[in-house]
Structure 1
Amino acid sequence: MKKLTSLFAAITLFTAVSAQTTDSIQLRKIYDEALINGKSYENLRYLCKNIGPRLSGSANAEKAVDWTKQLMQSYGFDKVFLQEVMVPHWVRGEKEVGKIIANGKSINVALCALGGSVATSATGVTAEVVEVKTLDEVKLLGEAGVKGKIVFYNRPFDPTPIETGISYGTAGDQRRSGPAVAAKYGAVAVIIRSLTHAIDNYPHTGGTQYDSLGVKIPAAALSTVAANQLSQVLKTSKPGSVKFFLKQNCQMLPDIKSYNVVGELTGTEKPNEFITVGGHLDSWDMAEGAHDDGTGVMQSVEVLRIFKSLNYRPRHSVRAVMFMNEENGARGGRKYAELAAENKEKHIAAIESDEGGFTPRGFSFQTSGAIVANANADWKKLLEPYEADKLTVGGGGTDIAPLKRTVPEITLIGFRPDSQRYFDIHHTPNDVFENVNRRELELGGAAMASLVYLIDQHGIRQ
């Protein structure tokens, strides 16, 4: 009996070692293909330079849908199709104007309307400024301290977290909810400090959310240089003497039809079980949407292209999804999940790339600690040579999140590149192709392809 037990243990060990060797060889092939023949960078160049900004509802978003569909068809994926989705159609209009008015002077400052904001009147709005750091301060001031004024939210990014997404999360309520809260107490407009550690003159846009039953007031973001300047003027001037002028011309048009774009390699053994990789095809309108999220969608296409080039036929069906409308509605992600439920598709995993095309560090798993522990035990050593082995508990992503509600058994995964530079560029006029490094981008696509391969071969151990 002991001999049989020992023999069984030896066979099990041999099988595990053999599988590790096979996996190691395959990952090396994936990385070689990406680094020698990778197409993410040149595809991103076309998306940024030939199409450009791709805000939902825009003509450029429509062009991006058509081009990414043709791109995936040109690679010979087994299926390429569109998923219709109705999206918001917000337009910025003429360039915004902002001025600090104090001590007999008018100082022009860099700012931009927040996505979804309403316009000012045609002549703009001028009012006294009240500076706050939190939404609770507005509530404490109440109508007596806020009515008829412009509320200036000036809470900076917390510099202490190493993962900069934490700072974004803790500062982001100013942009998301600040205008709605200020409107309740009679403010006439809101200006917020841009969400970044960087001190520069690039204002950062991003969506704001109004109370559906409340008053909607104009909302804009100041560059961090302008925010510091305004704060200093307020400190050195007589109370009540500093005013701000804001003029913006944005408007919300009726919803418009758009699409998610989906490419698929159909599984050889389990064609009705899916692994999804994706990013969002839309971008804000102020730049080319290179890191946010052109890098993510091009990396997702690259996963399938690499498999196709290596003649790797996945056991499960693998999809690359170009989600539409992440920036100002997340309707593409919800539609993908709805259709997955309607079609009774079994999704075992989804990976989202929406944190820029920087150096890969690893992946975060929106799941139990046990699954993450198993992933580390099974895959960490395989990913270590490529420095993409940080496997942690964490978020998956905005576009794949709705899948959890319709497919509870799915594992959601976020691709996690180095985060230090992302929020310097995120939602700014500086999010352009020139700020993407080719090698970093191709390494990210290879890291995503490697994890998809491992999940395809071995599943996710519970």
Structure 2
Amino acid sequence: MGRLFIAVIALLSVQFSNSQVTSVQEDSLNLRKIYDMSLMQGKSYDWLDHLSNEIGGRLSGSLNAQQAVEYTKAELEKLGLDKVWLQPVMVPKWTRGAREFAYVETEPGTTRNINICALGGSIATPDGGTKAEVIEVQGIEDLKLYGKEQIEGKIVFYNRPMRPDLIHTFEAYGGCVDQRYSGAKEAAKYGAVGVIVRSMNLRQDDLPHTGSMSYGDTPVENRIPAAAVSTNDAEYLSGLLKLDKDAEVYFKLNCEQHEDVQSYNVIGEITGSEHPEEIMVVGGHLDSWDLGDGSHDDGAGVVQSMEVLRLMKEINYKPKRTIRVVLFMNEENGLRGGNKYAEVAKEKGEKHIFALESDAGGFTPRGFAFDADKAQFAQIESWKPLFEPYLIHYFELGGSGADVRPLKEKEGDIVLAGLRPDSQRYFDHHHAANDTFEHVNKRELELGAATMTSLIYLVDKYGVRQIDTTPEDKY
């Protein structure tokens, strides 16, 4: 009896081991199919070409944004998905107006033009522009050092740079973006008449980088205009002020905030064959800033997400769970699309188990960041060897994407992920006039689409590990 038992156990062990090998082989072959299809017969680059060159910048609430909605919906319908629809969402509408103008004046009649652009959400300057002496600070916290006595009636110049010693450039961005977002609100409390902010850019160039800003609860009559200045001109102005504290800056903004308008999230899905109630999302944001055509931010994420569903169909993979592509509207200046999608999902009682976002540019993919429990992350990390032949080595616990974040209500209810491309050149283009199609590499874009599809395939096949949400399990 004992020998028979041992023999049975040995046989089962061999069968289990063989089953594991077979599963790994199957996964490896399917990832190879996905990468081959994306690199040899991909659609993402063509889609991006149209989105960028035929439509252009897609500022929330603009005609271009609406054209992008119509174009991507039509392209998703061509894929033969089980369902494609538009989800209405009210979004802010802000327009830049005529091109901004600025100069530095060292004495009457002696001026030097500088490159600026209005920050998204800023009010316009008075009709004649704003002209005043300048006080340079390294961040919001410096304002209290000078106080109202030294700031009132002046233009505050925020000049904290992105730290070049940080390898993770998004960390460098996070270390100084508060001066762009809240700088005008805080400076207004001290009587400043305007703010100019050093562009969030690791490179020295002449391109000002826009981005969202907020006045918070500042009364309308107390709001002041806010602009970004190029890194080269920030360096020039900083050097000049050390020599001439009486130098003045003039700038003219022509922007305007309008009433909210209706726009849409664009959604398409393949219904799951075994667990249709379990929903997996892959997406990017359809809106962009208006200075360039939004190819990296976030046209790349949009077309990569669309490509995930196309590749699934092309390799004849029938997902067990519902896979849904969501092209979010208004990430840049409000996150209305991401919040609306999460709100509707909650109202309908939908069960989302996984959401992946691409919003870090179309550069070479390096891996993913995950907002997950340690046990869930361990399950995902076990798939890492499948990605290593494609030079995908970066699996990090912590982080995901802005648009999918509202889906998470409590720890353990959903796993969120963000594609992490090489970020070293991302902020050269971020929110600037050179965020254009020619700066996206076709092969890098297609590698990103294949990498995203591979992760979605594995999560669909194996599901998300259910966890015990005790405090020690949380990262």
Give the TM-score category using the shorter length.
Answer: over 0.9
Q: Pick from 161, 172, 180: which aligns with 1:175?
A: 180
Could you say what the CA RMSD is over the residues aligned between the two structures, in angstroms?
Answer: 1.2
Q: What does residue 445 of structure 1 align with?
A: 449
How many Å apart are 1:408 and its aligned residue? Answer: 5.6
How many Å apart are 1:459 and its aligned residue? Answer: 1.4
Q: What does residue 197 of structure 1 align with?
A: 202
Is the Cα–Cα contact under 8 Å of residues 372 and 412 in structure 2 kept in the other structure?
Answer: no
Q: Pick from 283, 287, 310: which aligns with 2:288?
A: 283
Structure 1 distance, partners of 2:218, 2:45, is 45
Structure 2 distance, partners of 1:114, 1:321, is 27
Is the Cα–Cα contact under 8 Å of residues 365 and 448 in structure 2 kept in the other structure?
Answer: yes
Mapped pair 1:86 → 2:90: yes
How many Å apart are 1:389 and its aligned residue? Answer: 3.1
How many Å apart are 1:460 and its aligned residue? Answer: 2.6
Q: Pick from 109, 115, 118: which aligns with 1:110?
A: 115
Mapped pair 1:47 → 2:51: yes
Q: What does residue 216 of structure 1 align with?
A: 223
Q: What does residue 7 of structure 1 align with?
A: 11
TM-score, normalised relative to structure 2: 0.95
Mapped pair 1:261 → 2:269: no
Q: Which moved more, 1:17-26 or 1:209-218?
A: 209-218
How many Å apart are 1:370 and its aligned residue? Answer: 3.2
Q: Pick from 287, 301, 307: which aligns with 1:302?
A: 307
Structure 1 distance, partners of 2:411, 2:301, is 23
Query: 2:58 corresponds to which letter in structure 1?
Result: R
Query: 2:363 corresponds to which letter in structure 1?
Result: F
How many Å apart are 1:407 and its aligned residue? Answer: 9.0
Query: 1:57 corresponds to which letter in structure 2?
Result: G
How many Å apart are 1:117 and its aligned residue? Answer: 0.4
| TM alignment of 1:367-378, pairs within 5 A | 367-377=372-382
Query: 1:55 corresponds to which letter in structure 2?
Result: L
Q: What does residue 428 of structure 2 align with?
A: 424
Query: 1:100 corresponds to which letter in structure 2?
Result: V
Mapped pair 1:19 → 2:23: yes
Mapped pair 1:316 → 2:321: yes
- Describe the superposition over 1:169-224 as per-residue Cα deviations: whole angstroms up to 9, x where unpaired: 10111101111110111111000000010000010000001122442110000000
- Describe the superposition over 1:38-61 as per-residue Cα deviations: whole angstroms up to 9, x where unpaired: 000011000011110100100000
Structure 2 distance, partners of 1:433, 1:405, is 36
Is the Cα–Cα contact under 8 Å of residues 194 and 223 in structure 1 kept in the other structure?
Answer: yes
Structure 1 distance, partners of 2:287, 2:437, is 15
Q: What does residue 145 of structure 1 align with?
A: 150
Aligned residue pairs total 459
How many Å apart are 1:287 and its aligned residue? Answer: 1.0
Query: 2:16 corresponds to which letter in structure 1?
Result: T
Structure 2 distance, partners of 1:2, 1:98, is 84
Q: What does residue 71 of structure 1 align with?
A: 75
TM-score, normalised relative to structure 1: 0.97
Structure 2 distance, partners of 1:368, 1:100, is 53
Query: 1:251 corresponds to which letter in structure 2?
Result: E
Paired residue secondary structure (1:319): strand
Paired residue secondary structure (1:405): coil
Q: Which moved more, 1:382-391 or 1:108-117?
A: 382-391
Query: 1:436 corresponds to which letter in structure 2?
Result: V
How many Å apart are 1:391 and its aligned residue? Answer: 1.0
Q: What does residue 56 of structure 1 align with?
A: 60
Task: Mark the runs of 5 or more structure 1 residues left unpaired by the alignment.
Answer: none
Structure 2 distance, partners of 1:173, 1:213, is 16
Query: 1:360 corresponds to which letter in structure 2?
Result: P
How many Å apart are 1:236 and its aligned residue? Answer: 1.4
How many Å apart are 1:420 and its aligned residue? Answer: 0.5
Identical aligned pairs, as a percentage? 51
- Describe the superposition over 1:106-139 as per-residue Cα deviations: whole angstroms up to 9, x where unpaired: 1111110000000100100101100000111112
Query: 2:365 corresponds to which letter in structure 1?
Result: P
Structure 1 distance, partners of 2:74, 2:411, is 30
Structure 2 distance, partners of 1:385, 1:329, is 39
Structure 1 distance, partners of 2:170, 2:205, is 19
Structure 2 distance, partners of 1:62, 1:139, is 44
How many Å apart are 1:166 and its aligned residue? Answer: 0.5
Task: Mark the runs of 5 or more structure 2 residues left unpaired by the alignment.
Answer: 468-475
How many Å apart are 1:371 and its aligned residue? Answer: 2.4
| TM alignment of 1:112-127, pairs within 5 A | 112-127=117-132
Q: What does residue 235 of structure 1 align with?
A: 242
Q: Pick from 328, 349, 352: which aligns with 1:347?
A: 352
Query: 1:261 corresponds to which letter in structure 2?
Result: V
Structure 1 distance, partners of 2:377, 2:164, is 28
How many Å apart are 1:141 and its aligned residue? Answer: 1.4
Structure 2 distance, partners of 1:264, 1:271, is 11
Assess, with a 3 A threshold, how the Cα gap between structure 1 residues 84 and 315 changes in structure 2: closer, same or farther: same
Structure 2 distance, partners of 1:264, 1:34, is 19
Is the Cα–Cα contact under 8 Å of residues 199 and 231 in structure 2 kept in the other structure?
Answer: yes
Q: What does residue 393 of structure 1 align with?
A: 397
Structure 2 distance, partners of 1:288, 1:359, is 20
How many Å apart are 1:272 and its aligned residue? Answer: 1.3
Which ranges of 4 or more aligned residues in structure 1 deviate by more than 3 Å?
A: 1-8
Q: Pick from 459, 463, 466: which aligns with 1:459?
A: 463
Assess, with a 3 A threshold, how the Cα gap between structure 1 residues 323 and 406 changes in structure 2: closer, same or farther: farther
Mapped pair 1:434 → 2:432: no
Mapped pair 1:412 → 2:416: yes
Q: Which moved more, 1:11-20 or 1:245-254?
A: 11-20
Q: Pick from 387, 393, 398: which aligns with 1:383?
A: 387
Structure 2 distance, partners of 1:20, 1:284, is 43
